[in-house]
């Protein structure tokens, strides 16, 4: 996420804090050098350099997209990316294959760009809302208990968030990749059917209310439907969000 996306009062506080820090450092450096002595040309240059740094550097920092540092392929990203492109007959271009959604100016985001837009916290928020609803589902006892029997809320959130981050460009967070994912689904195959998928999609639809950006929301829907297509072929059901 960009620091420039912070609330205005937070940005101002952060900016002023940086400026105060650099001002203090510059003052200390001058006192240590030659207190009460006429400033030479070199020292005048140093003072000007520090002044520019104090003025400009915080603004630059505020506009750095720190997620650029974190974005990278996970254990699953490339394989899933290739499958998705082939399945949907997408013409490959730099905007399509980049992990940085900010470099994609088209109307459509791709799931391997989600991490660059949402970051870990927002992804985790969606997953937490989803599993919170799943584990308190009072409409389908079998569905709810299948998830409860396989772990706590914290367990499910950590596992699923790591998979999403891994798949969406946040780096290697899900060792074992799809083989590990398939094992988890086999363990829950009693609900890997149309009824179970529909209930799963119901809760995911509610969780996506946390996403206020239509382009991001549609991207997550594409992500979910891609996997519903994959699992539907294995477990013989058809379901879409």
Within 20-93, strands assigned E span none
Domain interval for residue 23: 3-64
Q: How far is CA 101 from the centre of its chain?
A: 11
Tens of pLDDT, residues 187-198: 888 999 999 999
Q: Does position 44 have pLDDT exceeding 80, yes or no?
A: no
Q: Does residue 82 share a domain with residue 9?
A: no
Q: What is the mean pLDDT of residues 232-238?
A: 94
Q: Does residue 180 share a domain with residue 199?
A: yes
Contact between 95 and 106 (Cβ < 8 Å): yes
Boundary of a domain, candidates 64, 94, 114: 64
Q: Does residue 188 share a domain with residue 104?
A: yes
Q: Between 185 and 48, name the one with better pLDDT.
A: 185
**64-73, 179-188, 207-216: which is most confident:** 207-216
Q: Does residue 148 share a domain with residue 32?
A: no
Q: Which residues of 161-177 are buried (b: 16+ CB within 10 A; e: fewer)?
A: bbbbbbbbbbbebbeeb
Q: Does position 93 have pLDDT exceeding 70, yes or no?
A: yes
Alpha-carbon distance of 231 to 240, in angstroms, equals 11
Least confident range of 46-50, 67-71, 95-99, 213-217: 67-71
Alpha-carbon distance of 34 to 53, in angstroms, equals 21
Q: Does residue 75 share a domain with residue 55?
A: no
Write out 4-36 in H/E/C secondary structure: HHCCHHHHHHHHHHHHHHHHHHHHHHHHHHCCC
pLDDT, averaged across the chain: 83
| 5 — pLDDT class (breaks 50, 70, 90) | very low
Q: Does position 67 have pLDDT exceeding 70, yes or no?
A: no
Q: Which residues of 182-217 are buried (b: 16+ CB within 10 A; e: fewer)?
A: eeeeeeeeebbeeebbebbbbbbeebbeebeeeebe
Establish if 241 belongs to a structural domain: no
Q: Does residue 49 share a domain with residue 166?
A: no
Tens of pLDDT, residues 162-204: 999 999 999 999 999 878 878 788 888 899 999 999 999 999 9
Q: Does residue 88 share a domain with residue 57?
A: no
Q: Does position 101 have pLDDT exceeding 90, yes or no?
A: yes
pLDDT for residue 43: 61
Q: What is the mean pLDDT of residues 99-103?
A: 93
Q: Does position 10 have pLDDT exceeding 60, yes or no?
A: no
Looking at the structure of the chain, the number of domains it has is 2
List, in order, residues 6 or more apart from 63 with CB less than 8 Å away.
Answer: 2, 3, 4
Q: Does residue 38 share a domain with residue 149?
A: no
Q: Does residue 130 share a domain with residue 42?
A: no
Q: Does residue 105 share a domain with residue 11?
A: no
């Amino acid at each position: 996420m960009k620091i420039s996306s912070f609330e205005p009062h937070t940005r101002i506080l952060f900016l002023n804090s940086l400026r105060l820090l650099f001002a203090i450092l510059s003052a200390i450096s001058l006192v240590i050098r030659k207190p009460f002595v006429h400033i030479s040309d070199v020292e005048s240059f140093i003072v000007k350099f520090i002044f520019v740094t104090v003025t400009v550097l915080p603004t630059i920092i505020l506009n750095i997209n720190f997620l650029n540092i974190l974005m990278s392929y996970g254990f699953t990203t490339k394989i899933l990316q290739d499958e998705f492109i082939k399945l949907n007959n997408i013409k490959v271009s730099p905007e399509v294959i980049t992990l940085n959604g900010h470099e994609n100016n088209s109307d459509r985001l791709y799931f391997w760009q989600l991490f660059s837009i949402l970051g870990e916290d927002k992804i985790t928020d969606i997953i937490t809302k989803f599993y919170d609803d799943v584990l308190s589902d009072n409409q389908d006892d079998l569905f709810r208990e299948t998830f409860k029997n396989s772990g706590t809320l914290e367990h499910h959130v950590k596992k699923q968030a790591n998979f999403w981050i891994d798949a969406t460009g946040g780096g290697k967070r899900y060792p074992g990749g799809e083989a590990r994912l398939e094992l988890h689904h086999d363990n829950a195959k009693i609900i890997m059917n149309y009824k179970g998928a529909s209930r799963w999609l119901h809760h995911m639809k509610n969780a996506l209310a946390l996403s206020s950006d239509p382009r991001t929301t549609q991207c997550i829907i594409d992500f979910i439907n891609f996997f519903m297509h994959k699992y539907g072929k294995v477990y013989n059901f058809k379901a879409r969000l």
